[in-house]
Amino acid sequence: MRRITVFRIYLCALFLLSLPIVLAAVAAWQPPSQPKTTVIAHRGASGHAPEHTLSSYRLAARMNADYIEVDVRATKDGKLVALHDATLARTTNVETVYPHRSPWRVSDFSLRELKKLDAGSWFDPRFAGECVPTLDEVVRMLKAERVNVPLYVETKQPGIERAVARLLQKHGVLQRGSVMFQSFHPESLQALRPLIPRGVPLIQLVGEKEARSGRDELLQQIAVYADGIGLPLPAVTEEWVRAAHGRGLMVHVYTVNEPHDLARLCAMGVDGVFTDYPDRPGRIAACRRLPRH
């Protein structure tokens, strides 16, 4: 009986001695956090400022976007500029400045001519005087203002890949974690692959019609040369996300501006979303996705 009592006392003493260690371990333990869905500022913060202007990029950085999308085209004299459309009519006053040069294709104008255009007034008079920026000016502005937000560069036309890579390399941006690339043109991504370091992602964009036909065959083709797929919002389903992840491909979705769409996509496990309002996703708790399928 005495031995049992001594043994109990020993156990109690051992428990009391180990209790602080156990409590400290419990307090320090945190449940594993779910990976965050990447928020990509679509043409900058284009819901708040004129797309593809320095104001739009600057604002996207202040809104803590994970990436800033920059569409890149070449001018008549081979300069790289940030513009989405193949023509200048929608986002500048080109019809007023150059009324006789319809259809106002970007490739028909020199950089000097583009710099005479107003790229901000169409959005709001507050942005009057905004210029069409070059890719060089975008990178220099971000560096000068110490903005550490990676670029998500879309090559809008094949043939500019080497010039884009060279410019980004010059600024020290052509490295993993500082840039990723996307394009609707497979040949553009394939041309980029030997020009960029290992680990810099390539994303193949597809349109809605393409996304709704031949999914498995399409994914098989893309997985040969790319690291991810860019899908239009209306085409995204759980099956699409699961199939892409099964091929080892990231899934980025364009363009997501409504909170209910964002929550639904994050619950599906998409890896990234393009949005005109990069200030919105951070306020939505659902944008913490489950692990990949």
Question: Catalytic positions, please?
Answer: 42, 84
241: enclosing H helix or E strand: helix 238-246
Distance CA 283, CA 34 (A): 16
**How far apart are alpha carbons 249 and 37 in whole angstroms?**
15
CA angle 173, 179, 185 (to 5 degrees): 125
The answer to whether residues 59 and 45 touch, using CB atoms and an 8 Å cutoff, is yes
User: Could you tell me which residues are beta bridge partners of residue 232?
Assistant: 254
Helix (H, G, I), strand (E, B) or coil at 202: strand
Residue located via tokens 């810099």:
200
Rounded to the nearest angstrom, the gap between the alpha carbon of residue 238 and the centroid of all alpha carbons in its chain is 21
Q: Whose CA is closest to 222, among 238, 240, 204?
A: 204
Residue 64, C-beta contacts closer than 8 angstroms, at least 6 positions apart: 39, 278, 279, 282
Q: 178: closest CA among 148, 158, 215, 222?
A: 148
